[in-house]
Amino acid sequence: MTSIKIKFRPSTVDGKEGGLYFQIIHNRVVRQLNTDYKVFSEEWDAESESIVINSNRSSLLLGIQERLLWDMARLEKVVRSLETEHRLFTADDVITMFYKQTRASSLFTFMQGVIAQLKQLGKDRTSETYTAKLKSFRSFREGQDLPLDGISSDLMRLYEVHLKARGVSMNTISFYMRNLRAVYNRAVEKGLTPQNNPFRHVYTGIDKTMKRAIPIKSIKALKELDLSMKPTLVFARDMFMFSFYTRGMSFVDMAYLRKSDLKNGILAYRRRKTGQQLTIKWEKCMEEIVAKYPENRTGYLLPIIKEAGNERKQYDNALHLVNYHLKELSAVLKLQRPLTMYVARHSWASAAKAKNIPLSVISEGMGHVTESTTQIYLASLETSVVDKANKMILGLL
């Protein structure tokens, strides 16, 4: 028989918190499994081996109690596993296996493994997104890791409340939850946790957002703006217009366009976000922007990534600089909302809708349907139909 108890060790310093540890007894051999959980003596009930929640530290104490219960459940699971194997084991074996399983099945460790794998696959943008989500969730947990099977519906609802209290929009909350759900589902597929559907009571939809598009007359005003006295703004305008000309191409896809992607009057590229192959008829307005700049010494089409090596950093720096200058252009044009590269995509979709182009050709876009749905609509049509729609929109400028 194996006995597992939770014990409290008072601090040797008056007024300081004491530590909690697990006492494991097997075949009369006693071992201690220390934890980093600390409480004051009046916050511990030795008889029931539980936290006393009656102070202004209730949130902290509830968290400690929750983790104690998880650890106890995992220790008991280790003992059952060792007993099932019908082999001799020691109290030290229990502790060793507990540590091994905890490292393998903790959320933070597993998510860091997913991030590392994404980087190896060259999916830098997705890995950065997951890193940001991990940072957010780690902040919510105050740095305390948890086992994958500790992800519960109640915990996810608390996380949603945490994000709302910090003014995070519902769409961003949904984005965070969907990323966490994707990681959780990976863990389920690997058999690291049962499927408990912990995200069923939190928001994972798409909320309508403030319209980001600007009207075609503002796009035209931007195109015709005299920037002879503000040459630093020219590149930002050119990148915005190139995105608009190419049906709202994202800046990351623009950055990684290669000269070899342009053949026989057709620009063909694969979206870095979705992997979807898209083709665009090459128009004169696009060529004019490319021709303005000295030929890129690299294999890239646009002067965003200019040197071999550190491509991602060059892209990030260029995006930051372009968006910074687009805000200046917003002020010059006295627009009600600031320009960003993302506005170009919204604006193309809005212009398409204004010209009564069928939904089968272009969906309304952000704020009504997802970007992936927009691309599915575009990809499902004959290329000539989409090119014709784009030429109609460019003719408005």
Query: What confidence score (pLDDT) does residue 379 get?
Result: 47
Q: Tell me how far CA of residue 318 lies from CA of 175, 301, 337, 343, 359, in angstroms.
A: 25, 15, 21, 17, 33
Using a pLDDT cut of 70, give the percent of the chain over it. 90
The residue ranking higher by pLDDT, 294 or 370, is 294
The residue ranking higher by pLDDT, 162 or 86, is 162
Q: What is the 3-state secondary structure (H, E, C) of the chain?
A: CEEEEEEEECCCCCCCCEEEEEEEEECCEEEEEEEEEEECHHHEECCCCEECCCCCCHHHHHHHHHHHHHHHHHHHHHHHHHHHCCCCCCHHHHHHHHHHHHHHHEHHHHHHHHHHHHHHCCCHHHHHHHHHHHHHHHHHCCCCCCEHHHCCHHHHHHHHHHHHHCCCCHHHHHHHHHHHHHHHHHHHHCCCCCCCCCCCCCCCCCCCCCCCCCCHHHHHHHHHCCCCCCHHHHHHHHHHHHHHHCCCCCHHHHHCCEHHHEECCEEEEECCCCCCEEEEECCHHHHHHHHHCCCCCCCECCCCCCCCCCHHHHHHHHHHHHHHHHHHHHHHHCCCCCCCHHHHHHHHHHHHHHCCCCCCCCCCCCCCCCHHHHHHHHHCCCHHHHHHHHHHHHCCC
Residue 368 has pLDDT above 80, yes or no: no
- Considering only 167-176, 288-297, 316-325, 371-380, which range has the smallest mean pLDDT? 371-380
The mean pLDDT value for 390-395 works out to 78
Residue 328 has pLDDT above 90, yes or no: yes
Q: How far is CA 120 from the centre of its chain?
A: 17
The mean pLDDT value for 288-308 works out to 91
Query: What confidence score (pLDDT) does residue 207 get?
Result: 61
The mean pLDDT value for 95-108 works out to 81
Residue 152 has pLDDT above 60, yes or no: yes
The mean pLDDT value for 390-396 works out to 78
Cα Dmax for the chain: 87
Residue 146 has pLDDT above 60, yes or no: yes
Residue for token pair 């980087």: 119
pLDDT digits (tens, 9 = 90+) for 177-219: 999 999 999 989 988 888 999 999 999 887 655 457 788 999 9
pLDDT digits (tens, 9 = 90+) for 40-93: 999 999 999 999 987 778 878 887 887 788 889 889 989 998 988 877 899 999
Task: Look up the CATH number of domain 216-394.
Answer: 1.10.443
The mean pLDDT value for 331-356 works out to 84
Query: What confidence score (pLDDT) does residue 363 get?
Result: 47
Residues 6 or more apart whose CB falls under 8 angstroms from that of 23 comprise 3, 4, 5, 6, 7, 30, 31, 32
What residues pair up with 30 in beta bridges, in sequence order? 25
> What does the CA dihedral 236, 313, 268, 297 come to, rounded to 10 degrees?
80
Query: What confidence score (pLDDT) does residue 327 get?
Result: 94
On whether the CB atoms of residues 272 and 253 are closer than 8 A, the answer is yes
Report the distance separating Cα 271 and Cα 77, nearest Å. Answer: 45
Kindly list the domain boundaries of the chain, sorted by start residue: 2-102, 107-189, 216-394
Max mean pLDDT among 120-134, 188-202, 251-265, 299-313 falls in 251-265
For all residues of the chain together, what is the average pLDDT?
Answer: 85
Residues 6 or more apart whose CB falls under 8 angstroms from that of 314 comprise 255, 304, 305, 306, 307
268-290 per-residue burial string, b: 16 or more CB within 10 A, e: under 16: ebebbeeeeebebbbbeebeebb
On whether the CB atoms of residues 17 and 55 are closer than 8 A, the answer is no
pLDDT digits (tens, 9 = 90+) for 229-281: 888 899 999 999 999 999 889 999 999 999 999 999 999 998 887 777 888 99
Query: What confidence score (pLDDT) does residue 85 get?
Result: 84
The mean pLDDT value for 332-355 works out to 84
Report the distance separating Cα 254 and Cα 244, nearest Å. Answer: 11
Residue 382 has pLDDT above 80, yes or no: no
Report the distance separating Cα 277 and Cα 375, nearest Å. Answer: 10
Query: What confidence score (pLDDT) does residue 388 get?
Result: 74
| Banded model confidence at residue 357, pLDDT cuts 50, 70, 90 | low
Residue 387 has pLDDT above 80, yes or no: no
Report the distance separating Cα 134 and Cα 358, nearest Å. Answer: 40
- Considering only 21-30, 175-184, 223-232, 376-385, which range has the smallest mean pLDDT? 376-385
Residue 377 has pLDDT above 50, yes or no: no
